[in-house]
């Protein structure tokens, strides 16, 4: 798969291939860390504790999109357009960080005040305590999203891959430390705050020492208005996207008990790891298509789409089949007798849908990189509404398998909408 991508990718073939390799390596770390996090919590604290953690994490991820305000997308676009002007990139980054810090602080205060409401909706008092422990991490997560997207826009993909991996490595290490300290389930989200603090320090040092000074200077304020304009048009897409990735867990939490949520979320997290294969390719595609739009080379995007799909789609299907067959082995080796066998059907349904989606997901950033965050929001909103409605209809009747079926159909709709919006809005066939 990788040699073919190196050979066939348009423009900068060898660099693109190396970058994909690095990001697939990062993906392996992300996937392994996510699996181990779930195994550690489920194995040492049981399905109920895992359900509480994943419900809290669902809120955390959704709130993080409010906290970052869509400004990470603006930073990515503008940095990719000005890759060869580091002074301009510094001004772009500093302006985005200042704005995000203000927005994130406000979101954290609102979340602190409303944490009891969230716990009441899910009938889980532990969620309220967990939110309080996670809020410092929420603030830093928003800043880290901007910094990581700056690396992506500059195509520093090795550093990008390493820092993406470090987030989950830090979370895993923190969870293990908290469990060894006999912390109760509601304090496990403190691992998110510890991890984001370590990641923030690491990112700031790397960018400041290796790329450019992260110090506001003359011209920084000029980027406030472009960032705000882009962010206001794109913030809803980030929020809706993250809601869409967690809506199955949240709907299950509303209708069913914490233990069932734990079973489902275990399979869903591992399936999501498989889905990150396409996201890893997207990480490398986004800055390339940004340059193509900046230099008015839209035909190159079509060529890149055809070549990536020709290689990546069948490869994803093969990996997905192996994953489905290997899932029971994973349970038998790492979770014998833990009662997670019923989650296999959930995993199989989600992986099948993600394998179908893999031919289009690498180009999910087309509308964002073309400067149309509002249209991107419509695309993401359509997928999310479909996912929510189908989950509400299917879960009461079919339980966690119904949630998997609903989410799988939403993944398939996403693939179709990416193609339709690219053709109708941009005149590009992907």
pLDDT in tens, 315-348: 889 999 999 998 888 777 776 665 677 788 889 9
Q: pLDDT: is 148 or 313 the higher one?
A: 148
As a whole number, mean pLDDT of residues 121-127 equals 64
* pLDDT value for 234: 73
As a whole number, mean pLDDT of residues 103-109 equals 92
Closest CA to 268 of 345, 369, 329, 370: 345
* pLDDT value for 40: 78
Please tell me the least confidently modeled range out of 137-141, 172-176, 350-354, 417-421: 172-176
* Percent of residues, the chain, with pLDDT higher than 70: 87
Range from 18-27, 113-122, 251-260, 382-391 that averages highest in pLDDT: 382-391
The structure tokens listed for 222 are 């000029």
The model's confidence at residue 420, banded by pLDDT at 50, 70 and 90, is: very high
Indicate whether 135 pLDDT > 60.
Answer: yes
Indicate whether 157 pLDDT > 60.
Answer: yes
As a whole number, mean pLDDT of residues 89-100 equals 92
The model's confidence at residue 231, banded by pLDDT at 50, 70 and 90, is: confident
Indicate whether 273 pLDDT > 60.
Answer: yes
**Contact 176/41 with Cβ under 8 angstroms?**
no
Q: How far is CA 17 from CA 11, 157, 161, 182, 308, in A?
A: 11, 11, 14, 44, 11
* pLDDT value for 212: 85
Indicate whether 155 pLDDT > 90.
Answer: no
As a whole number, mean pLDDT of residues 258-270 equals 79
Task: For the chain, give the mean pLDDT.
Answer: 82
Q: pLDDT: is 350 or 365 the higher one?
A: 350
Q: pLDDT: is 122 or 241 the higher one?
A: 241
Indicate whether 8 pLDDT > 60.
Answer: no
Through-space distance between the first and last CA atoms of the chain, rounded to whole angstroms: 20
Q: What is the pTM of this model?
A: 0.69
The model's confidence at residue 4, banded by pLDDT at 50, 70 and 90, is: very low
Largest Cα–Cα distance in the chain? 63
Please tell me the least confidently modeled range out of 138-142, 204-208, 325-329: 325-329
* Percent of residues, the chain, with pLDDT higher than 90: 24
As a whole number, mean pLDDT of residues 406-413 equals 93
* pLDDT value for 389: 94
């Amino acid at each position: 798969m990788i040699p073919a991508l190196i050979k066939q990718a348009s423009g900068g073939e060898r660099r693109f291939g190396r970058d994909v390799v690095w990001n697939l390596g990062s993906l392996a770390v992300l996937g392994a860390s996510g699996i181990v996090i779930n195994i550690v919590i489920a194995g040492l604290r049981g399905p109920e504790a895992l359900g509480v953690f994943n419900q809290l994490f669902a809120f955390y991820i959704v709130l993080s999109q409010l906290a970052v305000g869509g400004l990470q997308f603006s930073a990515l676009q503008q940095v990719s357009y000005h890759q060869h002007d580091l002074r301009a990139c510094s001004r772009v980054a500093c302006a985005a960080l200042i704005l995000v810090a203000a927005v994130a602080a406000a979101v954290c205060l609102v979340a602190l005040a409303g944490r009891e409401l969230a716990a009441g909706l899910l009938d889980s008092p532990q969620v309220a305590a967990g939110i309080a422990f996670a809020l410092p991490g929420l603030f830093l997560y928003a800043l880290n999203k901007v910094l990581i997207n700056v690396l992506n826009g500059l195509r520093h993909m090795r550093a990008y891959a390493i820092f993406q991996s470090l987030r989950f490595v830090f979370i895993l290490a923190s969870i293990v430390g908290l469990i060894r300290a006999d912390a109760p389930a509601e304090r496990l989200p403190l691992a998110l705050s510890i991890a984001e603090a370590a990641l923030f320090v690491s990112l700031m040092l790397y960018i400041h020492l290796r790329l450019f000074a992260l110090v506001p200077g003359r011209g920084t304020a000029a980027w406030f208005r472009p960032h705000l304009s882009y962010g206001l048009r794109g913030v809803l897409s980030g929020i809706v996207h993250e809601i869409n990735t967690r809506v199955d867990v949240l709907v299950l939490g509303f209708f069913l008990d914490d233990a069932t949520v734990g079973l489902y979320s275990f399979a869903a997290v591992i399936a999501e790891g498989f889905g990150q294969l396409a996201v890893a390719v997207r990480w490398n595609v986004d800055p390339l298509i940004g340059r193509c739009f900046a230099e008015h080379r839209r035909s190159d995007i079509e060529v890149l789409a055809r070549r990536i799909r020709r290689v990546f789609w069948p490869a994803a299907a093969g990996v997905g089949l192996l994953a489905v067959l290997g899932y029971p082995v994973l349970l038998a080796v790492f979770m014998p007798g833990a009662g997670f066998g019923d989650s296999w059907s959930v995993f199989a349904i989600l992986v099948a849908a993600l394998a179908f989606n893999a031919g289009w997901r690498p180009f999910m950033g087309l509308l964002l990189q073309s400067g149309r965050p509002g249209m991107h929001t419509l695309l993401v909103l359509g997928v999310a509404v479909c996912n929510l409605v189908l989950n509400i209809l299917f879960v009461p009747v079919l339980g966690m398998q119904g949630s998997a079926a609903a989410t799988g159909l939403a993944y398939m709709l996403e693939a179709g909408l990416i193609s339709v919006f690219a053709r109708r809005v941009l005149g590009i066939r992907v």
